[in-house]
Amino acid sequence: MLREEFNIKIKNYDYYDEAFTHASYVNEHPKENLRYYERIEFLGDAVMQLCVSEYLFKRYPNLPEGKLTRLRAAMVCEDSFSKLALECHFDEYIRLGNGEEKANARKRPSLLCDIFESFIGALYQDLGKEVVVDFISRVVFSKLDQGWFDHLLDHKSELQELVQKDGDAKIVYEVLDAVGPDNDRIYTMQVVVNGQVVGQGQGHSKKAAEQAAAHQALKQLR
Amino acid sequence: MLREEFNIKIKNYDYYDEAFTHASYVNEHPKENLRYYERIEFLGDAVMQLCVSEYLFKRYPNLPEGKLTRLRAAMVCEDSFSKLALECHFDEYIRLGNGEEKANARKRPSLLCDIFESFIGALYQDLGKEVVVDFISRVVFSKLDQGWFDHLLDHKSELQELVQKDGDAKIVYEVLDAVGPDNDRIYTMQVVVNGQVVGQGQGHSKKAAEQAAAHQALKQLR
């Protein structure tokens, strides 16, 4: 399943067995000499921290540390990881003891988050950092482009920092269009840097349309 | 200095300039288009977390997650990093504004800790993870062998986990010697696994001598 969906060429299945095994399962199978996920999750947690940090650091070369930290915290958290674990169908692979199964642990966000991290730990041990980066590019970083974390990003400030890096620059936002009734109006705006249109965007408020225009400009200028 | 002491072959000095520059210095030199350390510290922090986690994970293959986490927290903290920064003379390299200089920021543990992390971030960007691991092996991991974190490690439990991994094993601790007056007695003990002496150690209490003997046994058996 994992192999097909993400084209992961597993070398050593033992790491993944460990990553998807809960302590309650180990306790119910004392003779099988199994390991449960917690140690490998310890490793996976640190791997995720570095991969996400490095990605954000390079992708937003002018974003101050405070914003990088907020963005990382939004990406590396239980809410985010538990959703990703479900998206990757990790809940189906977990080996749980009977008691935990009855307590519906399989769908518990804290466990799903742990399992996402332990999977990352297994992938890192088995195939190394590059494969991990490739995997999380598809399942995590792509969410940035889909706007999952846009509320944390201030594209206008970022655009300003980018274009004023090499000296003064004049940035103007202009309304191009406003359609629809008062309570559902959609604005279209463009952003002009030193007389040149660099981006355009829409939104339900002028502020949102400006952010969308700045976002498009950043994509083009980078 | 860094180059001589740690044999680091710097490729790009810009990273280190950034790592050792405080915001107060940038503010006082607005025309030089300088960057201060906070962004690169964001990266360095995550690099340290991963390198230390990976090292502990591999070095203590039978230590449960809770103890790995405690050990990592003791190694990756302000107290530890600020001492390491001083040991590496990083305080001498920091570019500070006049106000901060007068406020004696150069010796402030929180700043020294930040600078240690930003230096790691610079080293990682400039020369990659292997060079970072090599550097922290010498300045951080060697402290483990020197016993800096021994109070967090329970060598006896670890030895027990190791030798009982493949089934039952009989572990016995025996007093070999006890010398000195009552209030300053030194015990020498040996640890015997399945009839074979595997380690010996000394301490001011039987418990400490047992831990030392288990520690030696672990070194030999690994």
Q: Go through the domains of chain A in sequence order and give each one's CATH number.
A: 2-152 (1.10.1520.10), 155-221 (3.30.160.20)
Cα(first)–Cα(last) distance of chain A, in Å?
36
The answer on pLDDT for A123 being more than 80 is yes
Write out the binding residues of B: 41, 114, 117
With the CA atoms of B100, B106, B112 and B115 taken in that order, what torsion angle do they form, in degrees rounded to the nearest 10? 70
- Annotation marks residue B78 as catalytic: no
- Say which residue the tokens 């520059």 belong to: B21
For the purposes of burial, counting CB atoms within 10 Å of the CB of B31, is it exposed (0-12), middle (13-18) or buried (19 or more)? exposed
Q: What is the CA radius of gyration of chain B?
A: 22
Record: contact A43-B54, CB cut-off 8 A:
yes
| B contact set with A (CB within 8 A) | 38-39, 41-43, 45-47, 49-50, 52-54, 57, 63-65, 68-69, 72, 129
Dihedral sign for Cα B170, B171, B175, B176, please.
positive
Query: Which neighbouring-strand residues pair with A171?
Result: A193
pLDDT at A13: 94
Among the partner residues B42, B63, B68, nearest to A53 by beta-carbon distance? B42
The answer on pLDDT for A84 being more than 80 is yes
- Annotation marks residue A210 as catalytic: no
Are the C-beta atoms of A95 and A22 separated by less than 8 Å?
yes
When comparing pLDDT for A151 and A92, which is higher? A92
Distance CA A41, CA A54 (A): 20
Residues in chain B within 8 Å Cβ distance of A68: 39, 42
Single out the residue of A164, A65, A92 nearest to residue B41, CA to CA.
A65
Q: Name every residue whose Cβ is closer than 8 Å to that of residue B85 and which is 6 or more positions away in sequence.
A: B91, B112, B113, B115, B116, B119
Question: Residues of chain B with pLDDT > 70: what percent?
Answer: 98
By C-alpha distance, the chain A residue nearest B118 is: A65
With the CA atoms of A181, A184, A188 and A193 taken in that order, what torsion angle do they form, in degrees rounded to the nearest 10? 120
Q: Annotated catalytic residue: which of A18, A100, A117, A158?
A: A117
Query: Which neighbouring-strand residues pair with B172?
Result: B192
Query: Does the interface predicted TM-score (ipTM) exceed 0.90?
Result: no
pLDDT band of B3, cuts 50, 70, 90: low
Record: contact B53-A45, CB cut-off 8 A:
yes
pLDDT at A115: 97
Among the partner residues B43, B57, B69, nearest to A54 by beta-carbon distance? B43
Are the C-beta atoms of A189 and A206 separated by less than 8 Å?
yes
| Chain B interface, best mutation among A27, A42, A57, by max B CB count within 10 A | A42
When comparing pLDDT for A184 and B176, which is higher? B176
pLDDT at A175: 94
pLDDT tens digit sequence for B33-67:
899 999 999 999 999 999 999 999 999 888 889 88
Closest CA–CA distance from residue B138 to any residue of chain A (Å): 21
pLDDT at B1: 58
Among the partner residues A39, A42, A50, nearest to B46 by beta-carbon distance? A50
Record: contact A46-B53, CB cut-off 8 A:
yes
Are the C-beta atoms of A88 and A19 separated by less than 8 Å?
no
pLDDT at A222: 76
When comparing pLDDT for B222 and B83, which is higher? B83
pLDDT band of A197, cuts 50, 70, 90: very high
The answer on pLDDT for A47 being more than 70 is yes
Among the partner residues A50, A65, A129, nearest to B41 by beta-carbon distance? A65
When comparing pLDDT for B31 and A40, which is higher? A40
Q: How far is CA B82 from CA A204, B8, B119, in A?
A: 49, 21, 12
Residues in chain B within 8 Å Cβ distance of A42: 53, 57, 65, 68-69, 72
Average pLDDT, chain B: 91
Record: contact A49-B49, CB cut-off 8 A:
yes
